[in-house]
Structure 1
Amino acid sequence: MGTDTWERRLVQDTRQTRRALTIWGIAVLVYLAAVFHRTSLGVVSLEAGTRFGLGPAALGTFTVLQVGVYALMQIPTGLLVDRFGARRVLTVAAALMGVGQLLFAFATSYPLGLLARAVLGVGDAMTFVSVLRLVAAHFPARRYAALAAVTAALGALGNLISTLPLAVLLDAAGWTATFAATGAVTALYAVVLALRVRDAPPGSVATRREPDSLRVVLGQVRHAWRTPGTRLGFWVHFSTMFAPTMLGLLWGFPYLVQAQGLARPAAGSLLAVLVIGAILGGPAIGTVISRRPECRTPLVVGYLLAALTVWAVLLGWPGGHVPTGVLVAGFAVLSVGGPASSTAFALARDYNPLHRVGTATGVVNVGGFVAITVSALAVGVLLSHFEPLGATTAFRLALLAVVAVLLLGLWRTSVWWRRARAVVLDAAARGEDVPVRIRRRAWDLAPA
């Protein structure tokens, strides 16, 4: 290759990389907004209870509805992204989130508040899968895991903004002005997405399929679900991200204020530990699993065991009032769950063909939000039941639901880890190409 040709190729590659990073950056901003809107109720949960006249169970319904809608929309979102492209889906998502937050700004009744959070949940559900689809289309496969983790970490900035800064803004401007302004900005951002984002790099053709029959669509979902790597990704996501997200979305703030006796600013700062840990942990874990993908699931299992230890300490502390230093350390460990969940999307990307990545990613993403829905609802119901015992005891008993969900996730993750390993090992023995080379261990020989 001549010098001139090499230089032209280098310039072209540099331009393509810059273009890809620009598109990714624009898309990440809408995901940041989605996380902000999703978690905004966590800091204002006490105000929401007063505004709408709600008890713990009814207040929990806000989060359960929003997250439940999110979970239900994941597979349809994956199909929509594969069918229409990420740009269109992201544009609609931004518009829906803006409308939902505007409705929430002016809602004064419980039914209208629920409607607002449901609309917000639909828009939120369309963002992360779409961003990851853009990453898969614009970047090499070897960079996917790292960029997925960094995407999640940057999205966590939205959670950080929804803690102390949102609380300060609410005190200064009030409920209506704050949520109306954030909703309007998000809706207007849809224009930027429509004009600047592209589904595929220049020179390539973005895949578009003709509308499929219901049978074909269900077959596509079934193929994704039957892939052991997808199933493992589902349970990894189920297990890792639900606890810190559930705390940030709803029950963390009341737990710290009512059960632990912290002042509101201190509680907001402690919730920020969950976000800062995710921001710092995302790039670190993304780098590790990109360079050594065989470490993905062992890292997840290690986190789950550490998380169980944290919950044992928090819920078993004598007297129930946990020292602030222990709370900070425990929340820091739990914060790693968000970055660890990015391994689930790397599994979906590695073990599914590109035309099915959106669908497989949607299937995987359902896992964590099913766990959030179940745990948030269970905590709210148990809090209402144990309320006469006092806030400290009620929260200790109610949060046992989180431990139960975590144990279920750890069990299913371990089962599908072994099954996915068996498929990879068998394929490698037949001489087939496999995404990750692993060595057979003694425990691989036992029946899965």
Structure 2
Amino acid sequence: MPARRPLIIWSIAVLVYLAAVFHRTSLGVASLEAGARFGLGPAALGTFTVLQIGVYALMQIPTGLLVDRFGARRVLTVAAALMGLGQLLFAVATSYPLGLLARAVLGVGDAMTFVSVLRLVAAHFPARRYAALAAITAALGALGNLIATLPLAVLLDDIGWTATFAATGAATAAYAIVLALRVRDNPPGAIQRRREPQSLPAVLGQVRHAWRTPATRLGFWMHFSTMFAPAMLGLLWGFPYLVQAQGLPRPVASTVLGVLVLGAIVGGPAIGAVISRRPACRTPLVVGYLLAALGSWAVLLGWPGGHVPAGVLVAGFAVLSIGGPASSIAFALARDYNPMHRVGTATGVVNVGGFVAITVSAAAVGVLLSLFEPLGSPTAFRLALLAVVAVLLLGLWRTSVWWRRARAAVFDAVARGEDVPVRIRRRAWDLAAA
């Protein structure tokens, strides 16, 4: 039993992360129903996702501090309760302001999950397994996205809005009891770091130290660049794009959206295995994905006539789906280059990146869709989704900048005789940058 305890704790924690992803992405399939229920246009409908993801992004650094201060178990328990409450409120909401409040509460609970799960992984497993487990965690969480596609669409058609969201919210709130009873912050016999209350300057100093670490900054921009596009499509605009702009039937559109999830489920363990064996490949793998993503968007948005064949849509979404697993590399950098007592904070800093990008891109697409006529046409979506390409180009640029700086920091540490988590070879462009 002692040998299996870390795996059991991780499994229990992963289930609440799966629930978080389900609740986060549930509006993707229900977006058309939400528009009809609340009487909303594209920009106002996009506010649901912008608010929820904006709250998520704002909560990441506070969540990291809370995890480092109070422990992952307490934070996860509160997270499950808040997510359940938010979804129950969303089930009965009939007015736009109440719906926004429900998604905000849900966003706060969601924000507390992933950082807490990764902190448990860092405490209960050896460092060499962290990258693989982070990738597998993200892949298993993607099952929540899969449940939020076709199965959720079927439930909404069969039992309706209120019953569907009320049942899922109640189940999530009840799971908080399991987390409180079964999860432990540290393995038995581990040295317990005493958690003293910290002053505001000390807290800000911890965030500042994490942000000044070049690998943390590189992780921020990696996460910013990799996970936002598939998440934005799954959260809100993918379903309307496939149904309204591409003319796909709703079940077919749900299936195409499922490609984003299946790619994440398959890609997570695969990427985790690669970067565990060859950690020096972590950043090149991310850059390769970003270039492939740019190519996919060029094909999807540049297709003559705007109506993309179904096979090309599936292939493009399959390429974009790797962004979720690739984003887990950013957390491995935060784990490797920060001391254990600051890992939660650094992980929160990194996690901000992707959700800032989701917030910006989702809001921009909603606003641009409202400006172009006819509403929901292939041309309108093609022009609006150019905002996604702009965010992707920004992320690729900043990732390349901080890749060079993080490599320089590693070379400096080696020159001082310090141990580094990953040995890398000096390249010609390192010498040119120096």
**Normalised by the size of structure 1, how large is the TM-score?**
0.96
Instruction: Provide the C-alpha distance between the structure 1 equivalents of 2:194 and 2:272, rounded to a whole number of angstroms.
Output: 30
| Sequence identity percentage | 88
> Which stretches of structure 1, 4 residues or longer, exceed 6 Å deviation after superposition?
none
Instruction: Provide the C-alpha distance between the structure 2 equivalents of 1:387 and 1:25, rounded to a whole number of angstroms.
Output: 48
1:50 — aligned with what? Answer: 36
Deviations along 1:239-258, whole A, 9 cap, x unmatched? Answer: 00000000000000000000
1:96 — aligned with what? Answer: 82
| CA displacement at 1:408 relative to structure 2 | 0.1
Letter in 2 for 1:36: F
Instruction: Provide the C-alpha distance between the structure 1 equivalents of 2:164 and 2:279, rounded to a whole number of angstroms.
Output: 43
Structure 1 residues not aligned, in runs of 5+: 1-14
Instruction: Provide the C-alpha distance between the structure 1 equivalents of 2:192 and 2:133, rounded to a whole number of angstroms.
Output: 20
Letter in 1 for 2:160: G
Instruction: Provide the C-alpha distance between the structure 1 equivalents of 2:427 and 2:135, rounded to a whole number of angstroms.
Output: 28
Is the contact made by 1:85 and 1:208 (CA closer than 8 Å) also made in structure 2? no
Is the contact made by 1:98 and 1:183 (CA closer than 8 Å) also made in structure 2? yes
1:252 corresponds to 2:252: no
SS where residue 294 of structure 1 aligns? helix
Deviations along 1:251-307, whole A, 9 cap, x unmatched? Answer: 000000000000000000000000000000000000101111100000000000000
Structure 2 residues not aligned, in runs of 5+: none
Change (3 A) 1:407 1:177: same
Is the contact made by 2:130 and 2:332 (CA closer than 8 Å) also made in structure 1? yes
- Match of residue 65, structure 2, among 74, 79, 82: 79
2:420 — aligned with what? Answer: 434
- Match of residue 4, structure 2, among 18, 23, 30: 18
Deviations along 1:4-52, whole A, 9 cap, x unmatched? Answer: xxxxxxxxxxx33300000000000000000000000000000000000
- Match of residue 352, structure 1, among 327, 338, 347: 338
Change (3 A) 1:390 1:362: closer
| CA displacement at 1:121 relative to structure 2 | 0.1
2:178 — aligned with what? Answer: 192
1:446 — aligned with what? Answer: 432
Would you say how many aligned residue pairs link Structure 1 and Structure 2? 434
The 5 A counterparts of 1:12-411 are 15-388=1-374, 391-411=377-397
| CA displacement at 1:427 relative to structure 2 | 1.1
| CA displacement at 1:387 relative to structure 2 | 3.2
Instruction: Provide the C-alpha distance between the structure 2 equivalents of 1:382 and 1:394, rounded to a whole number of angstroms.
Output: 8
**Normalised by the size of structure 2, how large is the TM-score?**
0.99
Instruction: Provide the C-alpha distance between the structure 2 equivalents of 1:208 and 1:39, rounded to a whole number of angstroms.
Output: 37
Deviations along 1:150-192, whole A, 9 cap, x unmatched? Answer: 0000000000000000000111110000000000000000000
Letter in 2 for 1:361: T
Instruction: Provide the C-alpha distance between the structure 1 equivalents of 2:108 and 2:258, rounded to a whole number of angstroms.
Output: 26
SS where residue 247 of structure 1 aligns? helix
Is the contact made by 1:253 and 1:271 (CA closer than 8 Å) also made in structure 2? yes
Instruction: Provide the C-alpha distance between the structure 1 equivalents of 2:97 and 2:3, rounded to a whole number of angstroms.
Output: 47
| CA displacement at 1:429 relative to structure 2 | 2.1
Instruction: Provide the C-alpha distance between the structure 2 equivalents of 1:72 and 1:391, rounded to a whole number of angstroms.
Output: 33
Instruction: Provide the C-alpha distance between the structure 2 equivalents of 1:268 and 1:240, rounded to a whole number of angstroms.
Output: 22
Change (3 A) 1:252 1:199: same
Change (3 A) 1:414 1:172: same
Instruction: Provide the C-alpha distance between the structure 2 equivalents of 1:351 and 1:338, rounded to a whole number of angstroms.
Output: 22
Is the contact made by 1:221 and 1:360 (CA closer than 8 Å) also made in structure 2? yes
Deviations along 1:325-345, whole A, 9 cap, x unmatched? Answer: 000000000000000000000
Instruction: Provide the C-alpha distance between the structure 2 equivalents of 1:157 and 1:70, rounded to a whole number of angstroms.
Output: 20
SS where residue 3 of structure 2 aligns? helix
Instruction: Provide the C-alpha distance between the structure 2 equivalents of 1:111 and 1:435, rounded to a whole number of angstroms.
Output: 48
Is the contact made by 1:16 and 1:201 (CA closer than 8 Å) also made in structure 2? no
Is the contact made by 2:26 and 2:235 (CA closer than 8 Å) also made in structure 1? yes
1:12 — aligned with what? Answer: none
